[in-house]
Chains A and B, each alone.
Chain A
Amino acid sequence: MALSSERLFDSLGHFGRCCGVALLYHCLRCDGQTGKEKHTHSVPYFKCTDLCFNYVHTSGLQYINYFSKYGWKIFNRCGIWPYISLHSRTVPNNCKITCCWKWKHDVPCRKCGCSFLCISEKRLDFHATWQLKKKGCACPWTAGRLAGCAENHTLFPQLPVLSEKVRFFFLCLCILEMAAPKVAVVGAGVIGLSTALCIVEACPSCSVTVLSDQFSPNTTSDVAAGMLIPHTYPGTPIHMQKQWFKETFTYLFAISNSAEASEAGIHLVSGWQIFRSTPKEELPFWSDAVLGFRPMSEAELQKFPQYRFGQAFTTLKCDCPPYLLWLEKRLKAAGVQTYNRKVSDLWELHSEYDIVVNCTGIGAHQLVGDKKLFPVRGQVLKVYAPWVKNFIRDGDGLTYIYPGIHGVTLGGTREKESWSLSPNPDTTKDIFDRCCSLEPSLREAQDIKVKVGLRPSRQSVRLQREVLSQGGVKLPVVHNYGHGAGGFSVHRGTAKEAARLVGECIAALRGSSPGAKL
């Protein structure tokens, strides 16, 4: 039954318009969302006859053309939902209809003059009860039935009798409060929090929740120094790593130069990366992304007599916990809730959330059984040595001195496949000695604290969509983990990409047939 919407409007005109509130009624389209014609299933769209609403409230329903689809622009607390297509009984958990004070009005039945009156108080859901008022016709209308009275008079008498597969809902309202897609981000390290932030930035109407069993200062990110010096992933194309790094650097650079810098823990730091023998690759892929990259002069190398070659540059550092706390603060301001919760299986979230984003870092080994993910244990010392203002890093990545806001991070180790989170005292001494040989003044460092973190290492960062399904129910998942030693360096770039993938999931959900969740 292909009915064109225009013909429907022509015939019905301003039916049911009253008190300036236009009656919303349905029209049939042939599976308009995908453009394919199906005769057995029709997806009802609700359209508004009157484009100019006279609402008291500023938010309201506006009929718009959104990417060649017609529908309402619904305003809710979070933002806008471009259009809605309502399916029978598929949205009970999501959709709530809030009435404005003007909603109460009579809607007359064309045929018998009975009028329909919505009797629910403030909030309605789709299963609202409607009652006929006049002429003793008081049949309640329950959801799922065709909009009509006991006399079987429908509001739209012109419409043919439709198959049972098609349901109609009758809406008479004003402000539809539509819950936007519910997104759960699992993991509250730098990847989880920055991904959640990118999602709300890209999709303000989304309802984002962060779930994690660990928050700052107990995440892997809190152990890291947060230096923006990229780690090379063998399995990810270099151009992509470069883009992620540049995006991250640009983002943090702007914050470092603003009044928020100290709260966010972001600051510039200059220093040297030194090599005992000239490396194969003298110009790393990120040399033009950092500031002032150049080889070290002879005079500078004299400070490190056992080293032959070096690179001097200026980069950024994200101190943790300040950076994570700042991200949490921004998330809260954007309406994102965080919950301390251990997720043992992503599927357990399918009933509460529409999309899950997996930012569990090393936890993914257990959570999704990714055997390609392995820990690289890192032990570091955090010391008080405020006279150290430059970073020093041995090109082998094992010995480094990174000055932060409240302490200097001395490192480190790279122990593959070691899962131990307990500090090793011999390692502590070894790290301290190695760092003191690079910077002798560290012998006077105070307040030495030891920390251990497990770098969630992988050949390539797992940044992709997946759809879990069980018994016909689907759960879209976006993975964003496996950043190994380079989490901070690329966090914003991967977070933005993950948010983009979430957007793809939302679009896929919208475009799906009845029975799928919105």
Chain B
Amino acid sequence: MRVAVIGAGVIGLSSALCIHEQFHGLVSSLELEIYADCFTPHTTSDGAAGLWQPYLSDLGNLQETLWNKETFDYLLGHLHSPAAQEMGLFLLSGYNLFTEPVPDPSWKNIVLGFRNLTPKELELFPGYSYGWFNTALMLEGRSYLPWLTNRLTQRGVKFFHKKVESFQELFSQGVDVVINCSGMRSGELQPDPELQPGRGQIIKVLAPWVKHFIITHDVKSGIYKSPYVIPGSEFTVLGGIYQHGNWSEENSAQDHKTIWESCCRLLPALQKAKIVSEWSGLRPSRPQVRLERESIRHGNVQGEVIHNYGHGGFGITIHWGCAMAAARLFGSILQERRKVASSPQPRL
């Protein structure tokens, strides 16, 4: 059974690992391959700060909330393992700030120690009158992706640096199942008008005195349009840009100014921080994650595709839950194939 994963970001690699971990023992000749034109450190996942935090509202997508929880619990379980530091996994506490009271988020019981901010804490952030404090997890892409790659390589998974032009291309080579984790560019494999870029820009600085994440919200403007500061293990990420429909991956001077000024206003100590680099990326945004099976037939070629894309700005937050769901879908494909194989039905 040949399985090809398209995409080597956090979704592609984790889906591959999850499937391999679960089915390697069950399927006699499981061959897993990863195809991508982009590998770490050049994927969208590498640009993300890596903070586990879903959007403020799940918009009724209970499924996604569940996947978020599964991811958090999975990562929390790994926190004390020897691999944690290599994975880029660590606990991080911090603040979510608002200009007005807001309802508690769907994830308040998933994170640790969720509570409202006290008046004295709010004094730190003039202009914000309400907020949350909680302890969440950081999973840094620049460590996690290499770690996943190592685990996969150890398991004998093959990597191909190649741009896949169509699902058919893979099927015609003999691939049985394709896991489509192509993120932003899924539209090139199969048009999807719901998939739109949510352009973001970040400034990476050296500010080792920052020990908390600080995410401000402007409920009217929308997510990530308000400054945020997220300290990583080496650098601190400053951001606050979300431009829907903007495909540019060039750094914009105007956005730089917006980020820098608003973050320095939020944390005056940042004025002395040294700027290390700047990056722009496209969040693969979709009203909801596309995680489903699809049978593709083209002439004589038939294959199963499991789509797993459209994770917007919460890819790291949701990745393992989605990987497990993708693995379940893969399991159901296997189940069907076995039935077909064992039953005396003529081949189609």
Task: Assess whether B209 is in contact with A386, with CB atoms less than 8 Å apart.
Answer: no
| A37 and B66 alpha carbons, distance in the complex (Å) | 89
A267 neighbours in B (Cβ, 8 Å):
209-211, 269
Residue of B nearest to A255 (CB): B269
Which residues of chain A in 247-296 are interfacial with respect to chain B, using CB atoms and an 8 Å cutoff?
256-263, 265-271, 291-292, 294, 296
| A406 and B207 alpha carbons, distance in the complex (Å) | 10
B231 neighbours in A (Cβ, 8 Å):
389
B234 neighbours in A (Cβ, 8 Å):
386
Which of B86, B138, B271 has most chain A Cβ within 10 Å? B271
Which residues of chain A in 376-400 are interfacial with respect to chain B, using CB atoms and an 8 Å cutoff?
386-390
Binds A, one of B116-124, B151-159, B244-252, B278-286: B116-124
A400 to chain B, nearest CB (A): 16
Task: Assess whether B112 is in contact with A300, with CB atoms less than 8 Å apart.
Answer: yes
| A296 and B118 alpha carbons, distance in the complex (Å) | 16
A84 at the B interface (CB under 8 A)? no
B262 at the A interface (CB under 8 A)? no
Write out, one digit per residue, whether chain B residues 84-97 have a CB within 8 A of any chain A CB (1) or not (0). Answer: 11101011110000
Task: Assess whether B86 is in contact with A444, with CB atoms less than 8 Å apart.
Answer: yes
Q: A292-B118, A387-B85, A389-B90 are in contact. Are A257 and B124 (CB under 8 A)?
A: yes
A291 neighbours in B (Cβ, 8 Å):
118, 120-121
Which of A271, A303, A314 has most chain B Cβ within 10 Å? A314
A469 to chain B, nearest CB (A): 48
Which of B93, B112, B121 touches A389 (beta carbons < 8 Å)?
A: B93
Task: Assess whether B211 is in contact with A297, with CB atoms less than 8 Å apart.
Answer: no
Write out, one digit per residue, whether chain B residues 109-153 have a CB within 8 A of any chain A CB (1) or not (0). Answer: 000110101101100100000000101001000000000000000
| A444 and B234 alpha carbons, distance in the complex (Å) | 15
| A2 and B344 alpha carbons, distance in the complex (Å) | 132
A296 neighbours in B (Cβ, 8 Å):
113
A9 to chain B, nearest CB (A): 56
B81 neighbours in A (Cβ, 8 Å):
440
Q: A291-B120, A444-B86 are in contact. Are A262 and B80 (CB under 8 A)?
A: no
Q: A258-B269, A259-B268, A261-B268 are in contact. Are A441 and B211 (CB under 8 A)?
A: no
Write out, one digit per residue, whether chain B residues 43-73 have a CB within 8 A of any chain A CB (1) or not (0). Answer: 0000000000000000000000000000000
B277 at the A interface (CB under 8 A)? no
A405 neighbours in B (Cβ, 8 Å):
208-209
| A261 and B269 alpha carbons, distance in the complex (Å) | 5
Which residues of chain A in 403-461 are interfacial with respect to chain B, using CB atoms and an 8 Å cutoff?
403, 405-406, 440-441, 443-444
Which of A259, A263, A268, A440 touches B80 (beta carbons < 8 Å)?
A: A440
Task: Assess whether A390 is in contact with B135, with CB atoms less than 8 Å apart.
Answer: yes
Please give the number of chain A residues whose Cβ is less than 8 angstroms from any Cβ of chain B in the complex: 38
| A303 and B112 alpha carbons, distance in the complex (Å) | 10
A333 neighbours in B (Cβ, 8 Å):
none
| A296 and B134 alpha carbons, distance in the complex (Å) | 12
Q: A257-B268, A386-B234, A444-B86 are in contact. Are A262 and B91 (CB under 8 A)?
A: no
Majority DSSP secondary structure for residues of B touching A: mixed
Residue of A nearest to B207 (CB): A262
B72 to chain A, nearest CB (A): 11
Task: Assess whether B272 is in contact with A263, with CB atoms less than 8 Å apart.
Answer: yes
B133 neighbours in A (Cβ, 8 Å):
270, 292, 314
A300 to chain B, nearest CB (A): 5
B207 neighbours in A (Cβ, 8 Å):
262
Residue of B nearest to A258 (CB): B268
A270 neighbours in B (Cβ, 8 Å):
93, 133, 135, 211-212
Residue of B nearest to A391 (CB): B211
Which of A257, A292, A443 touches B82 (beta carbons < 8 Å)?
A: A443
Write out, one digit per residue, whether chain A residues 292-314 have a CB within 8 A of any chain B CB (1) or not (0). Answer: 10101101100100000000101
Which residues of chain B in 200-255 are interfacial with respect to chain A, using CB atoms and an 8 Å cutoff?
207-212, 231, 233-234
Q: How large is the interface on B (under 10, 10 to 19, 20 to 34, 35 or more residues)?
A: 35 or more
Q: A261-B269, A270-B211 are in contact. Are A386 and B233 (CB under 8 A)?
A: yes
Residue of B nearest to A266 (CB): B209
Which of A266, A292, A386, A390 touches B208 (beta carbons < 8 Å)?
A: A386
Which of A266, A299, A441, A443 touches B90 (beta carbons < 8 Å)?
A: A441
A388 to chain B, nearest CB (A): 7
B93 neighbours in A (Cβ, 8 Å):
270-271, 314, 389-390
B273 to chain A, nearest CB (A): 7
| A383 and B84 alpha carbons, distance in the complex (Å) | 17
B275 neighbours in A (Cβ, 8 Å):
none
Which of B85, B211, B233 has most chain A Cβ within 10 Å? B211
Residue of B nearest to A267 (CB): B209
A301 to chain B, nearest CB (A): 10
Write out, one digit per residue, whether chain B residues 309-338 have a CB within 8 A of any chain A CB (1) or not (0). Answer: 000000000000000000000000000000
A319 neighbours in B (Cβ, 8 Å):
209
B79 at the A interface (CB under 8 A)? yes
| A269 and B211 alpha carbons, distance in the complex (Å) | 6
| A120 and B88 alpha carbons, distance in the complex (Å) | 76
Which of B80, B92, B135, B269 has most chain A Cβ within 10 Å? B269
Task: Assess whether B269 is in contact with A262, with CB atoms less than 8 Å apart.
Answer: yes
A258 neighbours in B (Cβ, 8 Å):
268-269
Residue of B nearest to A270 (CB): B93
A314 to chain B, nearest CB (A): 7
| A416 and B292 alpha carbons, distance in the complex (Å) | 66
Task: Assess whether A303 is in contact with B79, with CB atoms less than 8 Å apart.
Answer: yes
B121 to chain A, nearest CB (A): 5
Task: Assess whether A262 is in contact with B233, with CB atoms less than 8 Å apart.
Answer: no
Residue of A nearest to B114 (CB): A297
Which of B85, B88, B209 touches A261 (beta carbons < 8 Å)?
A: B209
B91 neighbours in A (Cβ, 8 Å):
389-390
Which residues of chain B in 264-298 are interfacial with respect to chain A, using CB atoms and an 8 Å cutoff?
268-269, 271-273
Which of A292, A387, A403 has most chain B Cβ within 10 Å? A387
| A36 and B75 alpha carbons, distance in the complex (Å) | 80
| A388 and B115 alpha carbons, distance in the complex (Å) | 22
Which of A262, A299, A406, A441 touches B112 (beta carbons < 8 Å)?
A: A299
A260 neighbours in B (Cβ, 8 Å):
269
Task: Assess whether B211 is in contact with A387, with CB atoms less than 8 Å apart.
Answer: no
B272 neighbours in A (Cβ, 8 Å):
259, 261-263
Task: Assess whether A387 is in contact with B208, with CB atoms less than 8 Å apart.
Answer: no
| A294 and B112 alpha carbons, distance in the complex (Å) | 13
| A472 and B93 alpha carbons, distance in the complex (Å) | 62
Task: Assess whether A389 is in contact with B124, with CB atoms less than 8 Å apart.
Answer: no
Residue of A nearest to B269 (CB): A261
B117 neighbours in A (Cβ, 8 Å):
292
Write out, one digit per residue, whether chain A residues 109-137 have a CB within 8 A of any chain B CB (1) or not (0). Answer: 00000000000000000000000000000
16 A-B residue pairings within 8 Å (CB atoms): A259-B271, A260-B269, A262-B207, A265-B209, A267-B210, A270-B133, A291-B120, A292-B117, A299-B113, A303-B80, A386-B233, A389-B92, A390-B91, A406-B208, A441-B84, A444-B86
B residues with a Cβ closer than 8 A to A are 79-82, 84-86, 88, 90-93, 112-113, 115, 117-118, 120-121, 124, 133, 135, 138, 207-212, 231, 233-234, 268-269, 271-273
What 6 A-B pairs have minimum CB-CB distances, sorted nearest first? A261-B269, A267-B209, A444-B85, A387-B90, A387-B233, A270-B93
Q: A296-B113, A389-B92 are in contact. List 9 more A-B contacts (CB 8 A).
A: A258-B269, A265-B209, A292-B117, A292-B118, A386-B233, A386-B234, A388-B90, A389-B211, A406-B208
A residues with a Cβ closer than 8 A to B are 256-263, 265-271, 291-292, 294, 296-297, 299-300, 303, 312, 314, 319, 386-390, 403, 405-406, 440-441, 443-444
